[in-house]
Structures are given as structure tokens and as C-alpha cells.
Chains A and B, each alone.
Chain A
Amino acid sequence: MPTILKEIPPRRSPAPPVLERRDTGRVKAPPRHRETEERLPGTRRLGYLSRVFAYRPAFYGVLLVAVITLMTIFAPLFAPYGRDAIDLDAILSPPSALHVLGTDELGRDLFTRIMYGGRFSLLVAFTSIALATGIGLLLGALAGYFGGLWENLVTGAVDIFMSVPVFLVLLVTAALGGGRMWLIPLVIGSTMWMEAARIVRARFLQLKREEYVEAARSLGSSDLVLVFRHMLPQALPPVIVTATIGFAHAMLIESALSFLGFGIQPPVPTWGNMLQNAQVFLRTSPLVAAAPGLMIFATCLCFNFIGDGLRRALADR
């Protein structure tokens, strides 16, 4: 038996439109365009950076990277000793008041060398990944935008680079380079561009079909404007994620090359080449091996966390 409503229930009065007021007293404009999507209750839409930092590890990663970078840049100001200064009274000494982390086999202060060592480790990783990302963006854009011959050339190049035993060739090149420092980021960078190229190409294939690109083209934009002004910025975010994680990878490669003795040559310290002789003294002074490696580990961990944060924020868009 159907229930008969005696009276129409009072309609809840619609909530008055909430107009957020800022301190300026101006009414906040409603968002122009908002996709309906599932959102955890209580979370509000955040800016991209805030969303990155909402992933706590990424936030602490950025902080720690900033601290490490500043420490290495201002090493001459803060370091207690000169970079190559030798203390003959303290060879392989354990941590003491004079030498916070102890000294290496030549009596050089470990803490000082770690501060200086970060300079080259960070610089090499940065230039490598900048180069790789540059090549990747360019080749990916060419392949995706023009297709045809470019496409074949780029996929062919990727095919070749994918078939190279990269680390072996890196070792050969670095070994034959005879300690030319600029060679290291060059070779590392030239073997890491494929991921970026793949992403950019795939993105460009989608973007080419977008209406706004069509519109820009019909307004007479040249290829250059279309690619660099309209399409490339849209392809950048995932590339930045890759580059961040690639930074950690480049740093690991540099440290491995240096550890094997084919990277940056002593007495210039890098975190990798400081580990070169450490194996001999593992038994007596494990800290000589532990400390530089820990710096590599910490820095790479930070960059991987930042990369994860960037990716999450991107996926959450």
C-alpha cells in the first residue's frame, strides 16, 4: 500500500552560495572550469606545488636537497680544512674533535672532502640530465610533430641506443677519455635521452589532434610557434618527473664510474671516487666508505621522492 504523503515536506532552503572572502575583502571568483572527480572528503583542490608537497617525503626531499646543495656551494666558507689539506698526524683517524668524521688514508679531513665532493657529483648529475632532457625534448618533438622521416630516424636512434650495453660503453668512453672531466656528463647525458623522447613523442601524437593546436595553426602560427609555444609546455610535466628521477640515476652512474676509477679523477673529490680506495680500509675505518656513499644515497633518495611527489601530483590532476 503506497504511503500517501499528507503534506509536502518542507524543502530545505538551498544553502546560500558561499562566497569566500579574502582579507582584501574581494569576492573570490568561482573556479572557471572544474572537472567533477572523486576527492577524499575534506581535501580541497590545491595548487600543483602544494599537491607535490602534500606528499611529505617530497617536501623533506626538497629541504634536504637544498641543504646539501648550499653546503657544497659554500664549502669554502664552512669547510674546516682545505680541500686537499693533509694532516700527517691523523691518517685514517677515527672521528675526533679535530676531524668530525675522521680522515682518509692520506690524512685529509673526510667532512671537508664530502662537502667539496658534492660539488662535482651534483654538477655532473645536473649537466648530464639537462643534456639528456634537452636531446629527448628535441628528438621527441621532431618525431611526434613531423612524423615520417623524422619519426623513422628517431625511433631508429632509440633502437640503436636501446641495444647498446650502455654501462660498458660508458666505461670504455670514460676510460679512453683520459680524465677529461667534461666528457663524463656528455657521455652520461647522451645515453639517457630515450625516455624523455618517448614521452614527448607520445604526447605530441595526442596533442596534434587537439582543437587548440588546430586553432593556432589555422590562425597562421608557424611550426616553431606551434611546437615551442603551444605543444612543448603541455608535454613538459611528465618529462620533468622523468628528469627528476633521471637525476638520481645519473648521479648513481657517475658514482659508479668514479668508483671504478674511470670517472672524475682524484685529487678532485666526488662522492663516487672517494669510495675508490675505501674498500681496502673497510676493516679498519669503515666510515671512509660509509660517509660518501651515504651522501649519494641520501641525495638520490631525495630526488626519487621528489620525482614520486611530482608524479603523484600529476596523476591527481
Chain B
Amino acid sequence: MFKIYLLKRLARVVPVLLIVSMATFALLHLAPGGPASVMTSNPKVTGADLERIRESYGLDRPLPVRYLIWFRQVFLRLDLGTSYVTGEPVSSMILDRLPATLELMSISFILALALSLLAGVLSALKKGKIADDLVSVISTAGISAPVFWVGLMAIALFSARLGLLPSGGREAITENGSLADRLRHLVLPVSVLSLAYFASWTRYVRSSVLEAIRGNFVRTARAKGLNERVVILKHVLRNAVLPVVTIIFMQIPTLFTGAVITETVFSWPGMGRLFYEGLARHDYSRVMGIVIIVTIIIIFFNLAGDLVCMAIDPRYTPFGGEGRLDRRYNLGGTV
């Protein structure tokens, strides 16, 4: 059964990847001016130059042919092409920026996950008490506040007004990359990014724990005289937390997309800002490369998440059937 499911699920990956890449490709190449439009603004580039440039990038061919060429290049030769603006290979640009993004994301993710598990479980166990209300107010505020605005306000307060923390960047040039300096630069972006995720995940953890508490197996456990601590730890949490954590892990790719905003606000030299700059400078090969990489990451995490959910609960279906688990589409927290 599981093997059949795995095969079916894998078979769905191919069309998804094809359609997403085709759509993005078409979008970028059908845009007014096309990928070479950035050259037209350069007064030194003549019409003949432009033709030559188009030809050298293969932009004079029809769209489907260009897609096939691009497809062969990316998926068979694993080459994301070169930037139209800087001439650098896109893959090396991404690899340059990846560590900064991973650093920011992994710390924020771990922090948000730990805090939301704590707060979510606490607020579910203390349902209706002050602690629950407090957590619910914080998390509702967290999902309602635009991440970039929280970032701006944090900069205004802690950096501009109080002068406690740097307003952006990954390290100060003068500090030669000392650990303390890098940590100081991490404080604001990590707090802002993790607040957003904390807010949405906490609500999810809470509702999952509450759902588990209502289960018949909890009544059974209590009826057979187990002490409440054992009931909560071994019966409720084990059943509530595992699926939530799996689904939260499926959210990891949204950290990449959310990074666009956080990294722009805090001038963080990561992939998100690379994408934003690429878009602003019409560097379409860079934009396309990043979109395709993030798409692959998303597909991978969705697949892995589905399989883990399936292993935990055989009733699970990705689109939410009769099973207890369903993939939450709108966990928010990215903007």
C-alpha cells in the first residue's frame, strides 16, 4: 500500500515541476521587452548589438524551443545559466548568498518552532485561563502585523532611537567578522522572522493539542487511572505534536519566500535579496533560477511531509480526506 502510494505520489511530482517551470518561463519571456529589455536602456547598445545579444542568448527563437533549450540546460546539465546583468553563473550567485539565508532561516525556524510548541501546548492545557488569553493575543497580533512593518519599527526603536543594535547587514566591516558582532546583527532579523512564524504555528499547535485531548483514548487513559502527567505527556502530546511538527516542517520552503521581505528590510545579503535585486534589475535568468530552485525545494518538502504524515496516520491523504491530518494551506506568516 505504502509503496503504491509512494509511486503515485512521485509520479505527480513530474507534471507539477513541468507546469510550474513552464508558467514561470512563459511569464518572464512574454513580459514586455523580454529578457533582453535591460540592454535597451543602455545608450551604447545599438540595434545591431541587441540583435546579436538576443541571438547569443537564443532569444530569437520561438518560446517553446527556448523552453526546451532551457529545460535541457537546467535539468540535464544542471546549469542555471548566466546572469543577463552581471554575466556571472546564476548557480554561483545563489551559492554565494545561500549561507546567509540558511543562517537566518535555521535560527529563526528553530526558535519559532521551540517557542510555538511551548506556548501552544501551554495555552491548550490552560485553555480559558490567563496564560491562554495572553498567548492568543500575542499570536493573533503576530499574524496581523506586516512582517516588514514590524521590522521597520524594530529598527526605529532599537537601532535609530536606542542605538542598541545595528539596523541591517550581516556584519560590520570594522569588526572582522567577530562572533559577537554577527550575533548582534542577527538579533533583529531573527526576532522579526521568528515572531511571524511563532504566531501562526502556536495557533496550530494549540488546536491540535485540544483536538487530541478530546480523543477517546485520553478518556480511556484517564479512566484507567493514569496520572495526569502521563496522560498529557505520553498520550496527548505524542498524538498531537508529531503531526504538527511534520506539517510545520513542510512549511520550511516558505521561509525562503518570506526571506525576500526580511532580507530586504534588514539588508541581509541572502537569497531573498538576491531575488529582489534581480527582479528590480530585470535579471530574468537569475529570477528564473531562484524560482525553480525554490520550487524544487517546496516539492521535495511537500513530498517528504506527505510521506511522513502517511506513515504516522494511514488515513492521511494530501488533499485532506477523512483522516485526522490535513495539510494546512494557509499557515500564513510569510508576509
Residues of A within 8 A of B (CB): 155-156, 158-160, 162-169, 171-173, 175-176, 178, 192, 194-195, 198, 201-202, 205, 242, 245-246, 248-249, 252-253, 255-256, 259-262, 272, 275, 278-279, 282-283, 286, 289-290, 293, 296-297, 300-301, 303-305, 308
Contact status A178-B32, CB under 8 Å: yes
- Please give 18 more A-B residue pairs, beta carbons under 8 A apart, in addition to A164-B20, A296-B146: A162-B327, A163-B302, A165-B253, A165-B257, A165-B295, A168-B290, A172-B279, A175-B280, A176-B31, A242-B330, A249-B330, A249-B332, A282-B155, A293-B146, A293-B153, A296-B145, A297-B144, A305-B140
Asked whether B202 is an interface residue with its Cβ less than 8 Å from the other chain, the reply is no
Q: Which residues of B contact A171 (CB under 8 A)?
A: 260, 275-276, 279
Contact status B291-A293, CB under 8 Å: no
B258: nearest residue on chain A (CB-CB)? A167
- Between A and B, 22 residue pairs with Cβ closer than 8 Å are A155-B319, A156-B15, A158-B319, A159-B16, A162-B327, A165-B253, A165-B298, A167-B335, A169-B23, A171-B276, A176-B31, A198-B329, A201-B319, A242-B330, A256-B146, A260-B264, A275-B149, A283-B156, A293-B146, A300-B144, A301-B140, A304-B140
Contact status A202-B320, CB under 8 Å: yes
Asked whether B147 is an interface residue with its Cβ less than 8 Å from the other chain, the reply is yes
Chain B 133-173 interface 0/1 with A at a Cβ cutoff of 8 Å (1 = within): 00000001101111111001101100011000001000000
| Given A156-B15, A167-B258; A290-B148 close (CB under 8 Å) | no
Q: Which residues of B contact A303 (CB under 8 A)?
A: 144
| Given A163-B16, A165-B256, A286-B160; A279-B265 close (CB under 8 Å) | yes
Contact status A282-B160, CB under 8 Å: yes
Give the contact-size bracket for chain B: 35 or more
Asked whether B82 is an interface residue with its Cβ less than 8 Å from the other chain, the reply is no
Distance, CA A272 to CA B279, complexed state (A): 19
Shortest distance between the CB of B207 and any CB in chain A (Å):
10
Distance, CA A283 to CA B163, complexed state (A): 11
Residues of B within 8 A of A (CB): 12, 15-17, 19-20, 23-24, 27-28, 31-32, 140-141, 143-149, 152-153, 155-156, 160-161, 167, 253-254, 256-258, 260-261, 264-265, 275-276, 279-280, 287, 290-291, 294-295, 298-299, 302, 318-321, 326-327, 329-330, 332, 334-335
| Given A255-B146, A260-B260; A289-B287 close (CB under 8 Å) | no
Q: Which residues of A contact B291 (CB under 8 A)?
A: 165, 168-169, 172
Contact status A246-B279, CB under 8 Å: no
Which secondary structure dominates chain A's binding surface? helix
Shortest distance between the CB of B36 and any CB in chain A (Å):
14
Contact status B334-A167, CB under 8 Å: yes
Question: Which one, B149, B161, B279, contacts A175 given CB within 8 A?
Answer: B279
| Given A198-B319, A297-B144, A304-B143; A279-B294 close (CB under 8 Å) | no
Contact status B156-A168, CB under 8 Å: no
Distance, CA A158 to CA B15, complexed state (A): 13
